[in-house]
Chains A and B, each alone.
Chain A
Amino acid sequence: MSRTDRFLWLMAVLALATALTFVDATLRSHEASPRLATSAALVQELGLTDLALFTEARYTRHLSQADLHTAFQDHPLAFEHFPSGSLLAPPAHLFPTRHADLAAATEVPD
C-alpha cells in the first residue's frame, strides 16, 4: 500500500469516527430521555424555575428569580463575593435591550 493510500485510509477512519460521534450523540440522547423526562416532570409538578447549580447564596440558587440589582443583595454597597459571581454574565440591563420593557404604559382592556 502506497503512502498516499495509507494516508487516505487514515483520513477515512477519522472521518468515519467523526460521523460516528453524531450517531453516538443521537443514541445516547435517546438513552438519556427518561432521565431528562424525570427532571422535566419534576419541574412541571413543582413549578421549578432554576437549575440547582450554585447553592451558596439565594441570588445564585435561583438566578432567574433574583432581584435585579444582584450585586448589592446583602446590604447596600455589598460586594459580590461568591465565586460563581465571577462566572455569571453581568445583568441584562447593562447590555442593549433584548426584550420589551414591561413597565411601558399601555391601555388595559380588562
Chain B
Amino acid sequence: MPIWLQRQKYLIDFTLASLLRRRAKNLGLLLVYALIVFALASVMLYTHALRHEAAHVLAGAPEIVLQRMVAGRHDLIGEEHIARIGQVRGVQTKAGRLWGYFYDPAVKANYTLMVPPDREIAPGDAIIGAGIARTRGLSAGDYLTLRGSDGKAHTLRVAGLLDARSELVSSDLVLVAEPFFRAFFGIPAGQYTDVALRVRNAQEVRKVAEKLTLLLPDTRPILRDEVLRTYDAIFNWRQGVVAVLLLGAILAFVVFAWDKASGLSAEERREIGILKAIGWETSDVIRMKFWEGAIVSLTAFLLGYLAAYAHVFLADAALFEPVLKGWAVLYPRFALVPTVDGLQLATLFFFTVFPYTVATIVPIWRAAITDPDTVMR
C-alpha cells in the first residue's frame, strides 16, 4: 500500500478512536445529522417522483383547451365558435368536450361527469372511477342515483369501472352518454363545456393560441405546457412549504453543528497540544480533523438518504404524506414510481456534507498553528 494511503488509514484509525472516546456526544450528533438529511431527502424524493409522474401522465393531454369566458367566468361554448376555429391554420382536430361537476352530498365530494369522445356508452349507463366505487361501495351492475338540474333523481347503472391503475387521473370520473349528460345538466344541443384542440406541430401551439385569442376574443386558451407547469409549480410550492416547516429544525441543527464543529472544547484543545508536542505536524492535525468531519457527515448523509428512500418508496412516505399529497374525500390511491435525480442528490450532498467538513477544519487550523505550550495551558 502506498505510504500516503497508509498514512490516511492510520489517521482514520486515530480519528475513529478519538470519536469513540466521546461516544455519546458523537452518536447524538450523527443521529440528529442523519435525521436532518432524512427529512430533506424525503421531501426531495417525494416531490420529484410526483412531479415526474404528473409530467409523464399528462403528456397526452390536449395541446390546447379553449374556454369561453363570460364576465370573467368560464361559460358554455357554442358550435358557431367551434366552426370559426376551423379557419385557424395548424389545428389538426377540434372537438367540443362535455364535462361538468356534480357535488354529491352523500359523500361530500365533487364527481367529474364526462362524455367520452370515442367510447360508446348506453344512455342510463355509467363507467365510474375507482375512487367513487370505493367511497360509495359500488361495483359493476349496481345503481347510482344523482339529483339532476331539474330536481329529479336520475339513476345510472354502473356498467363498469375504470382501470384502478389509472386512479391518479380517473378517481372521481363518471363517464356517461351524451343524451344523459345534456338532460341531467340541462345543457341544450350545440353547446359544449369547452373545446379540445390538437395541434400537429408542437412549435406552432403558442402561435395558434395567439390567433385564437384574436379570432375569438371572448375565449381563453389553456396550453398543455401551462397545465404541466401548473403541476410543476404545485409540487415545487409544496416542497417549499415543507422546507419552511423544517427550517426551524434545520437552523437548530446548524447552530448545534456549528458549535460542535467550530468551538473547540478544552479537552480537544489539550489533545491537539499533546499531539503537537509529541511531534505531529500542523498538516497532520488538520488532516485528522478533516477525517473527523468527513466521517461524521458522510455517514450521516448515507444513512439519512437510505432511510429517506425506504421511507418514501417502501413505506409510501407515511410521515409527510398528509402535507405533500393534500387530502380529498375521493383521494386516488397510487404508489409512487421511484425516480432519483442524480443532480438533486449531488446538491443535497454538497449542502450537507461540505459545510460541516469545512466548519470542523477552520478552528482546528487556528488551534494547530499556535504553540503547543499555549494550547495545553
Q: Which residues of the partner chain A approach B230 to less than 8 Å between Cβ atoms?
A: 63-64
B250, chain A: closest CB distance, angstroms: 21
Interface of chain A residues 53 through 109 with chain B (CB within 8 A): 53-58, 61-65, 67-69, 83-84, 87-89, 92, 98-100, 102-106, 108
Given A21-B309, A106-B210, A44 and B60 contact (CB-CB distance below 8 Å): yes
B298 touches A11 (CB 8 A): yes
Give bound CA distance, A44 to B227, whole Å: 14
B210 touches A102 (CB 8 A): yes
Interface of chain B residues 313 through 334 with chain A (CB within 8 A): 313, 323, 325-332
Interface of chain B residues 96 through 150 with chain A (CB within 8 A): 97, 101, 109-112, 114, 116-119, 129, 131
Q: Which residues of the partner chain B approach A56 to less than 8 Å between Cβ atoms?
A: 109-110, 328-329
Give bound CA distance, A76 to B97, whole Å: 28
Q: Which residues of the partner chain B approach A51 to less than 8 Å between Cβ atoms?
A: 54, 57-58, 168-169, 231, 332
Q: Which residues of the partner chain B approach A17 to less than 8 Å between Cβ atoms?
A: 302, 306
Q: A102 contacts which of B209, B231, B340 (Cβ < 8 Å)?
A: B209
Interface of chain A residues 27 through 55 with chain B (CB within 8 A): 28-29, 32, 34-36, 38-55
Interface of chain B residues 75 through 112 with chain A (CB within 8 A): 87-89, 95, 97, 101, 109-112
B62 touches A47 (CB 8 A): yes
- From B25-33, B211-219, B254-262, B359-367, the one touching the partner chain is B211-219
Q: Which residues of the partner chain A approach B325 to less than 8 Å between Cβ atoms?
A: 53
- From B11-19, B181-189, B263-271, B274-282, the one touching the partner chain is B11-19
B42 within 8 A of A: no
B215 touches A40 (CB 8 A): no
B16 touches A4 (CB 8 A): yes
Of the four ranges (under 10, 10 to 19, 20 to 34, 35 or more), the interface on chain B belongs to 35 or more
Give bound CA distance, A63 to B234, whole Å: 10
B206 touches A43 (CB 8 A): no
B109 touches A39 (CB 8 A): no
A22 touches B340 (CB 8 A): yes
Q: Which residues of the partner chain A approach B342 to less than 8 Å between Cβ atoms?
A: 22
Give bound CA distance, A41 to B112, whole Å: 18
B297 within 8 A of A: no
B283 within 8 A of A: no
Give bound CA distance, A40 to B55, whole Å: 10
A82, chain B: closest CB distance, angstroms: 9
Q: Which residues of the partner chain A approach B117 to less than 8 Å between Cβ atoms?
A: 45-47
Q: Which residues of the partner chain B approach A88 to less than 8 Å between Cβ atoms?
A: 234, 237
Given A64-B226, A83-B326, A84-B328, A36 and B72 contact (CB-CB distance below 8 Å): no
Give bound CA distance, A98 to B173, whole Å: 32
A100 touches B206 (CB 8 A): yes
B340, chain A: closest CB distance, angstroms: 5
Q: Which residues of the partner chain A approach B101 to less than 8 Å between Cβ atoms?
A: 58, 61
A4 touches B13 (CB 8 A): yes
Cβ contacts A1-17/B at 8 Å (1 or 0 each): 01110011011001101
Of the four ranges (under 10, 10 to 19, 20 to 34, 35 or more), the interface on chain A belongs to 35 or more
Q: Which residues of the partner chain A approach B167 to less than 8 Å between Cβ atoms?
A: 52
Given A21-B306, A106-B214, A49 and B328 contact (CB-CB distance below 8 Å): no
Q: Which residues of the partner chain A approach B165 to less than 8 Å between Cβ atoms?
A: 34-35, 38-39
B53 within 8 A of A: yes
Give bound CA distance, A15 to B298, whole Å: 10
B225, chain A: closest CB distance, angstroms: 8
Q: Which residues of the partner chain A approach B211 to less than 8 Å between Cβ atoms?
A: 108, 110
Cβ contacts B33-70/A at 8 Å (1 or 0 each): 00000000000000000000110111111100101000
Give bound CA distance, A43 to B166, whole Å: 9
Interface-centre pick from A51, A56, A57, A63 (highest chain B CB count, 10 A): A51
Give bound CA distance, A34 to B295, whole Å: 42
B338 within 8 A of A: yes
Further 15 A-B residue pairs, CB within 8 A, beyond A28-B337, A45-B116, A55-B111: A18-B305, A34-B165, A39-B166, A48-B58, A51-B54, A51-B168, A55-B331, A61-B101, A62-B112, A64-B227, A83-B326, A87-B237, A88-B234, A89-B234, A102-B210
A-B residue pairs, 7 tightest by C-beta: A44-B60, A89-B237, A25-B338, A14-B302, A52-B171, A64-B227, A39-B166
* A to B CB contacts below 8 Å, 15 in the list: A8-B12, A21-B309, A22-B342, A25-B340, A28-B313, A38-B165, A39-B57, A41-B60, A42-B163, A46-B114, A51-B332, A55-B111, A61-B112, A87-B237, A89-B236
